[in-house]
Amino acid sequence: GNSVTQMEGPVTLSEEAFLTINCTYTATGYPSLFWYVQYPGEGLQLLLKATKADDKGSNKGFEATYRKETTSFHLEKGSVQVSDSAVYFCALHFYNQGGKLIFGQGTELSVKP
Partner 1 sequence: EPEVTQTPSHQVTQMGQEVILRCVPISNHLYFYWYRQILGQKVEFLVSFYNNEISEKSEIFDDQFSVERPDGSNFTLKIRSTKLEDSAMYFCASWVGDTGELFFGEGSRLTVL
Count Cβ atoms below 10 Å from residue 76 Cβ, excluding itself. Answer: 15
Among 104, 100, 48, 53, which Cα is nearest to 76's? 48
Minimum CB–partner distance for residue 88 and partner 1 (Å): 12
Q: Is 79 or 97 the residue whose CB approaches partner 1 more closely?
A: 97
Nearest approach, Cβ of 16 to partner 1 (angstroms)? 28
Nearer to partner 1, 80 or 90 (CB): 90
Q: Pick between residue 29 and residue 43 the one whose CB is nearest to partner 1.
A: 43
Q: Which CB, 45 or 79, lies closer to partner 1?
A: 45
We find the least distance from the C-beta atom of residue 103 to partner 1, in angstroms, to be: 4
Binding stretches for partner 1 (CB under 8 A): 32, 34, 36, 42-46, 49, 51, 89, 93, 95, 98-106
